[in-house]
């Protein structure tokens, strides 16, 4: 009897049938990858967004817990992501973190970054916080000379997609992501 291991996968649409025929797909969801061309970047006022640090980890986790029951909160946040100095957040006057985001991937050497973990508390949406955070992150990456900036958005999250398009992100490709089991 073999123990079952699970792997996170991202599968181009044209390869899903092949992967599914040879592996146990535990779950999948359709995603849209978007890419920013610096010449198309249209930043918004992001003065409210401040840089987050390691000491903000508990506040970030508390914020992300807000959407866990609805599967809205980010899937892959690790404290080590704060080391890249790309996470930004918006706090209320009382200090409560109501929106945050950063990068899933950042490599200065390769000139690439993937923006992710963008989340706004459900009681504070439609105030421009996600746009401000995404704009602040993109601007900081461009200022560092990062040339390839991408992000992923779940199919059906049209509000987020529109925010990213207004900032200058464009559709790059669709793919499936999920977990696969290999025995």
- Both tokens of residue 139? 């601007």
Instruction: Report the greatest alpha carbon distance in the chain.
Output: 57
Residue 89: the pLDDT is 97
Q: Which pLDDT does position 78 carry in this prediction?
A: 86
Please give the C-alpha separations between residue 154 and each of 47, 118, 158, in angstroms, as whole numbers: 27, 12, 9
CA–CA dist 16, 27 (Å, integer): 12
Tokens at 160, concatenated: 């987020």
> pLDDT in tens for each of the 183 residues of the chain?
355 577 777 878 788 788 777 777 776 788 999 999 899 999 999 889 999 999 999 999 999 999 877 777 787 788 999 998 999 999 999 999 999 999 989 999 999 999 999 999 999 999 999 999 999 999 999 999 999 999 999 999 999 999 999 999 999 999 888 877 765
d(CA 45, CA 48): 8
Task: Supply the pLDDT for residue 177.
Answer: 82
Q: How many CB atoms lie within 10 A of CB 75?
A: 12
Whether pTM > 0.85 for this model: the answer is: yes
| Beta bridge pairs of residue 9 | 178
Rounded Cα gap, residues 141 and 147, in angstroms: 8
Residue 4 confidence (pLDDT): 56
| Amino acid 1: pLDDT | 39
Tokens of 36: 């920013």
Q: What is the per-residue pLDDT for 15? A: 81
Query: Domain coordinates of the chain in residue numbers?
Result: 5-182
Fold for 5-182, please state it.
Answer: Aminopeptidase (3.40.630)
From residue 70, give the alpha-carbon distance in Å to each of 64, 73, 131: 11, 8, 22
């Amino acid at each position: 009897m073999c123990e079952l291991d699970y792997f996170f996968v991202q599968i181009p649409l044209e390869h899903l049938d092949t992967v599914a025929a040879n592996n146990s797909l535990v779950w999948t969801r359709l995603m849209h990858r978007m890419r920013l061309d610096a010449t198309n970047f249209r930043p918004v006022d992001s003065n409210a967004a401040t840089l987050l640090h390691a000491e903000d980890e508990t506040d970030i986790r508390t914020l992300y817990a807000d959407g866990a029951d609805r599967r809205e909160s980010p899937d892959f946040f690790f404290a080590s992501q704060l080391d890249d100095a790309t996470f930004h957040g918006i706090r209320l006057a009382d200090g409560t973190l109501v929106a945050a985001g950063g990068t899933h991937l950042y490599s200065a050497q390769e000139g690439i970054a993937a923006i992710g973990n963008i989340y706004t508390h459900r009681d504070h949406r439609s105030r421009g916080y996600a746009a401000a955070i995404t704009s602040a992150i993109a601007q900081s990456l461009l200022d560092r000379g990062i040339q390839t900036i991408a992000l992923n958005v779940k199919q059906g999250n049209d509000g987020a997609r529109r925010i990213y398009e207004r900032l200058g992100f464009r559709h790059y490709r669709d793919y499936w992501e999920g977990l696969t089991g290999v025995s």
